[in-house]
Amino acid sequence: GNSVTQMEGPVTLSEEAFLTINCTYTATGYPSLFWYVQYPGEGLQLLLKATKADDKGSNKGFEATYRKETTSFHLEKGSVQVSDSAVYFCALILQTGANNLFFGTGTRLTVIP
Amino acid sequence: EPEVTQTPSHQVTQMGQEVILRCVPISNHLYFYWYRQILGQKVEFLVSFYNNEISEKSEIFDDQFSVERPDGSNFTLKIRSTKLEDSAMYFCASRTTSDTGELFFGEGSRLTVL
């Protein structure tokens, strides 16, 4: 089947620390991979995406590389800010048909000053 | 910038009542979705809709749930007889036919069943 396994949280970091949130996937076809972010009290927003192997998605200082050999899409940021505090969801969608988005369980990140 | 809009933002209802959540997807999108997120839990797929019919649904989407696209713009989720465990944030999403498959989400409708 199709699934996403995401690093358990919560994660608490000091400002300017390095962030990694691990994500691995299982897919029956060829997926596109996403990281969505949910800030407190808000809906889901796309943070970054990658649609093929070795693609690197990046946005707001966050990066993730589509690794087909390890079926991974780990999220990284070199220096987190308090404003990055949110819940981060790894997700995949198969690239054919109207298939739905499969989400990981989400990782809550809290950045302290 | 086009966006998915959802109404109401918050609804409180009594157990057993019918609820309709409304969504206006982005105008040129063809695939529509409902997801839900029970407080503190993961985002769960409910149903996808394409070409005026359900294309996929999860085991959560039982006979108490239905979806409809009554006109060219709205996409609704109806819960026929709400239960306490239906309390959740419900997200509508839409996408185009592009291969990247990015979904655009609304801000959600919070349903509280008392």
Subunit contact A102:B45, Cβ cutoff 8 A: yes
* DSSP, res A101: P
Residue A101 binned pLDDT confidence (cut-offs 50, 70, 90)? confident
Provide the mean pLDDT of chain A.
91
User: Nearest chain B Cα to A100, which residue?
Assistant: B48
* DSSP, res A82: G
- Disruptive mutation site among A4, A7, A44, A107 for chain B (greatest number of B CBs within 10 Å): A44
Residue B67's nearest CA partner among B52, B87, B83 is B52
Dist. CA A64–CA A46, nearest whole Å: 13
Using DSSP bridges, classify how beta strands A56-59 and A62-65 pair: parallel, antiparallel or unpaired. antiparallel
* DSSP, res A71: T
Tokens linked to A99: 């298939």
Tokens linked to B31: 């695939």
Residue A12: the pLDDT is 97
Residue A13's nearest CA partner among A62, A80, A58, A74 is A80
Dist. CA B114–CA B109, nearest whole Å: 16
Q: Does A46 touch chain B (CB under 8 A)?
A: yes
Q: Work out the minimum CA distance from A54 to partner chain B, whole angstroms.
A: 15
pLDDT digits (tens, 9 = 90+) for B102-111: 788 998 999 9
Beta strands in A15-85 (DSSP E): 19-21, 23-26, 31-38, 44-50, 56-59, 62-65, 75-77
Profile chain B (114 residues) by mean pLDDT over runs of 10 residues. Answer: 89 97 93 91 89 90 94 92 96 81 88 97
Dist. CA B69–CA A15, nearest whole Å: 46
Contacts of A84 (CB under 8 A, 6+ apart): A19, A77, A109, A111
